[in-house]
Amino acid sequence: MPSSRHSGRTPVVVAAMGLALAYPVIVYFGLRTMSPQALIAILAAMVLLRLLAGRRLAGADPFLVAPLAACAGSLALAPFAAEPALRAYPVFLSLAPGLAFAWSLRGGGSVIERIARLSEPDLPKAAVTYTRRVTWVWIGFFLTNAAIAALLAWRGSLEAWTLYNGLISYLLAGTLMTAEYAVRRSVRRRIEARI
């Protein structure tokens, strides 16, 4: 039975996730009706919602820290150029987990390995090798995504920026997750056949 402490946070978590997912569309329509400074206030609200969600930040979980880092990065740019700061959010949103995944490879188990060990604490050596390779694939994805988002933020139209960051990047991430899941099942069968 969920504790009242966790159930009380659920609407805040859902609101924070909804704002993050809808962010490109909010910016697209928002810039037509309000000032960039007003939209910066929405970005600040995203930071506040993340903090209120009370997410555990210990261990630098990239899926929890990334939105906060992205908001902080964009807010830091806001006093100098409000609209570019708004469009930079997806850049930071990809850079944060990309760098966190890369940092995790320095030792102590990659992010993907730590996630895998949650369900299977005694990973075979071949599985650990696989998780390191998958971590590299995700690093490549996040950094490429950040580069495309940056190019569209500074050189692309608002329409192209919104389409890529509000739809295409999600489809690419979903495709990569689906492909990795299929490969992982195949690798797991091969590892189990050797044991």
- pLDDT of 151: 95
For tokens 């692309």, name the residue.
156
Amino acid at the residue 107: G
Give dist(CA 104, CA 22) in Å, integer.
29
pTM above 0.85, yes or no: no
Q: Who has greater pLDDT, 55 or 39? A: 39
Number of domains observed in the structure of the chain: 1
Range of the domain at 145: 4-194
- pLDDT of 168: 97
CA 179 to chain centre: 18
CA distances from 7 to 3, 52, 63, 123 (A): 6, 13, 20, 33
- pLDDT of 67: 66
- Helices 82-104 and 36-52, interaxial angle, to 10°? 30
